[in-house]
Amino acid sequence: MSRGPAVIITEKDNAARRIAEILSDGTADTERVAGTTVYNWGGNRCIGLSGHVVGVDFPPEYNDWRDVEPVELIDAPIDKQPTQEGIVRALRQLARRASHVTIATDYDREGELIGKEAYELVREVNEDVQIDRVRFSSITDREVTEAFDNPDELDFELAAAGEARQVIDLLWGAALTRFLSLSARQLGDDFISVGRVQGPTLKLIVDREREIEAFDPEDYWELFADLETDEAGGFESQYFYRDEDGNEAERLWDGDRADAVYDALTESETAAVDSVNRRTRTDSPPAPFNTTQFIRAAGSLNYSAQQAMSVAEELYTAGYLTYPRTDNTVYPEDLDPRELLEAFTGDSTFGDDAEGLLAADEIEPTEGDEETTDHPPIHPTGELPSRSELSDDEWEIYELVVRRFFATVADDATWEHLKVVAEIADREVVDGEPPTEDLTLKANGKRLVEAGYHAVYPYFSQSETHVPDVTTGDELAITDTQIEAKQTQPPRRYGQSRLIETMEGLGIGTKSTRHHTIEKLYDRGYLENDPPRPTMLAKAVVEAAEEFADQVVSEEMTAQLEADMEAIAAGEKAYDEVTAESRRLLEDVFDDLTDSREAIGDQIQQSLKADKTLGPCPECGDDLLIRTSRQGSYFIGCNGYPDCEYTLPLPSTGKPLLLDEICEEHELREVKLLAGRKTFVHGCPQCQADAADAEADRVIGNCPECGKEHGGELAIKQLRNGSRLVGCTRYPDCEYSLPLPRRGDIEITDDHCEEHGLPELLVTYEDEDRESWELGCPICNYREYQARQNGSALEAIDGIGEKTAEKLQIAGIEDVAGLKNANPDKLAEEVDGVGVDTVRDWQADAD
DNA sequence: GCAAGGTC
Cβ of A62 near strand B (under 7 Å)? The reply is: yes
Nucleotide nearest to A177 (CA to C1'): B2
**Confidence check: pLDDT of A426 > 90:** no
Sign of CA dihedral A451, A453, A457, A459: negative
Question: Which tens digit of pLDDT belongs to each residue from A393-411?
Answer: 999 999 999 999 999 999 9
Asked which of A173-177, A437-441, A450-454, A666-670 is least confident by mean pLDDT, the reply is: A437-441
State the pLDDT at residue A847.
Answer: 55
**Confidence check: pLDDT of A435 > 50:** no
> What's the Å distance between residue A289 CA and nucleotide B7 C1'?
21
Question: Which tens digit of pLDDT belongs to each residue from A491-524?
Answer: 999 999 999 999 999 999 999 999 999 999 999 9
> What's the Å distance between residue A471 CA and nucleotide B7 C1'?
64
The number of CA neighbours under 13 Å toward the Cβ of A80 is 14
State the pLDDT at residue A700.
Answer: 84
> What's the Å distance between residue A167 CA and nucleotide B3 C1'?
9
Phi, psi angles (nearest 5°) of residue A372: -130, 170
When pLDDT is cut at 50, 70 and 90, the band that residue A427 belongs to is low
> What's the Å distance between residue A65 CA and nucleotide B1 C1'?
9
Cβ of A559 near strand B (under 7 Å)? The reply is: no
Indicate the pairing of strand A100-104 with strand A634-638: unpaired
Cβ of A329 near strand B (under 7 Å)? The reply is: no
Nucleotide nearest to A190 (CA to C1'): B1
| Of A576, A599, A357, residue with least CA distance to A455 | A357
> What's the Å distance between residue A305 CA and nucleotide B7 C1'?
17
Residue nearest the C1' of B8 (CA based): A50
Q: Which nucleotides of B are covered by protein (CB under 7 A)?
A: 1-8
- A426 vs A761, higher pLDDT: A761
- A672 vs A87, higher pLDDT: A87
Alpha-carbon distance of A329 to A1, in angstroms, equals 48
State the pLDDT at residue A793.
Answer: 64
Cβ of A45 near strand B (under 7 Å)? The reply is: no
Specify the DSSP class assigned to residue A380: B
**Confidence check: pLDDT of A776 > 50:** yes
State the pLDDT at residue A674.
Answer: 76
For residue A616, the surrounding DSSP H or E stretch is: strand A613-616
Q: Mean pLDDT of all residues in chain A?
A: 90
Provide the β-strand partners of residue A443: A420
> What's the Å distance between residue A307 CA and nucleotide B7 C1'?
17
State the pLDDT at residue A749.
Answer: 81
> What's the Å distance between residue A530 CA and nucleotide B2 C1'?
27
| Of A318, A322, A457, A324, residue with least CA distance to A390 | A318
| Of A96, A3, A106, residue with least CA distance to A48 | A106
State the pLDDT at residue A81.
Answer: 96
Cβ of A706 near strand B (under 7 Å)? The reply is: no
Cβ of A630 near strand B (under 7 Å)? The reply is: no
Indicate the pairing of strand A745-752 with strand A613-616: unpaired
Alpha-carbon distance of A273 to A407, in angstroms, equals 39
Cβ of A198 near strand B (under 7 Å)? The reply is: yes
The number of beta carbons lying within 10 Å of the beta carbon of residue A188 is: 7
**Confidence check: pLDDT of A637 > 70:** yes
Alpha-carbon distance of A286 to A297, in angstroms, equals 11
Asked which of A353-367, A374-388, A654-668, A801-815 is least confident by mean pLDDT, the reply is: A801-815
Nucleotide nearest to A516 (CA to C1'): B4
Indicate the pairing of strand A6-10 with strand A44-48: parallel
| Of A175, A161, A167, residue with least CA distance to A580 | A167
Alpha-carbon distance of A779 to A738, in angstroms, equals 7
The number of beta carbons lying within 10 Å of the beta carbon of residue A732 is: 16
Cβ of A115 near strand B (under 7 Å)? The reply is: no
Nucleotide nearest to A507 (CA to C1'): B4
> What's the Å distance between residue A692 CA and nucleotide B5 C1'?
51
Mean of pLDDT values over A587-598: 93
Question: Which tens digit of pLDDT belongs to each residue from A256-274?
Answer: 999 989 998 999 999 999 9
State the pLDDT at residue A526.
Answer: 97
Residue nearest the C1' of B1 (CA based): A188
Residue A642 preceded by cis peptide, ω within 30: yes
Cβ of A53 near strand B (under 7 Å)? The reply is: yes
Cβ of A108 near strand B (under 7 Å)? The reply is: yes
Q: Which residues contact A749 (CB under 8 A, 6 or more apart)?
A: A759, A760, A761, A762
Would you call A755 helix, strand, or coil by DSSP?
Answer: coil
State the pLDDT at residue A1.
Answer: 44
State the pLDDT at residue A795.
Answer: 66
The number of beta carbons lying within 10 Å of the beta carbon of residue A481 is: 20
Cβ of A83 near strand B (under 7 Å)? The reply is: yes
The DSSP secondary structure of A262-314, one letter per residue, reads HHHHHH--EEEEEEEEEEEEEEPPPPPB-HHHHHHHHHTTT--HHHHHHHHHH
**Confidence check: pLDDT of A746 > 90:** no
> What's the Å distance between residue A52 CA and nucleotide B1 C1'?
22
Nucleotide nearest to A552 (CA to C1'): B3
- A615 vs A759, higher pLDDT: A615
CA angle A93, A94, A96 (to 5 degrees): 70
> What's the Å distance between residue A166 CA and nucleotide B2 C1'?
13
**Confidence check: pLDDT of A180 > 90:** yes
CB crowding A262-283: b at 16 or more within 10 Å, else e: bbbbeebeebebbebeeeeeeb
Nucleotide nearest to A170 (CA to C1'): B3
| Of A93, A84, A116, residue with least CA distance to A103 | A116
Cβ of A571 near strand B (under 7 Å)? The reply is: no
Residue A323 is among the residues annotated as catalytic for this protein: yes
Residue nearest the C1' of B2 (CA based): A174
Distances A406 to A257, A285, A287, A288, A454 between C-alpha atoms, Å? 52, 10, 11, 10, 10
Question: Which tens digit of pLDDT belongs to each residue from A567-577?
Answer: 999 999 999 99
Cβ of A520 near strand B (under 7 Å)? The reply is: yes
Say if CB A62 and CB A174 are below 8 A apart: no
State the pLDDT at residue A484.
Answer: 98
> What's the Å distance between residue A109 CA and nucleotide B7 C1'?
16
Mean of pLDDT values over A811-829: 72
Amino acid at A617: C
Nucleotide nearest to A201 (CA to C1'): B4
Cβ of A52 near strand B (under 7 Å)? The reply is: yes
How long a stretch of residues is chain A?
847
Residues (154-183, chain A) with CB within 7 Å of strand B atoms:
165-166, 169-170, 172-174, 177-178
Question: Which tens digit of pLDDT belongs to each residue from A699-725?
Answer: 888 888 877 877 778 788 776 555 678
State the pLDDT at residue A845.
Answer: 65
- A803 vs A572, higher pLDDT: A572
**Confidence check: pLDDT of A822 > 80:** no
**Confidence check: pLDDT of A756 > 90:** no
Provide the β-strand partners of residue A446: A417, A465
Cβ of A306 near strand B (under 7 Å)? The reply is: no
Question: Which tens digit of pLDDT belongs to each residue from A142-159?
Answer: 999 999 999 999 999 999
Q: Say what angle helices A291-299 and A392-408 make with each other, to 10 degrees.
A: 120
Nucleotide nearest to A174 (CA to C1'): B2
| Of A281, A458, A453, A461, residue with least CA distance to A365 | A453
Cβ of A57 near strand B (under 7 Å)? The reply is: yes
> What's the Å distance between residue A472 CA and nucleotide B4 C1'?
64
Cβ of A65 near strand B (under 7 Å)? The reply is: yes
How would you write A542-557 as a 3-class SS string?
Answer: HHHHHHHCHHHHCHHH
Pick the catalytic residue from A320, A323, A457, A782: A323
Mean of pLDDT values over A450-474: 95
When pLDDT is cut at 50, 70 and 90, the band that residue A748 belongs to is confident
Which of A222-226, A778-782, A832-836 tops mean pLDDT?
A: A222-226
Nucleotide nearest to A114 (CA to C1'): B6
Mean of pLDDT values over A116-137: 96
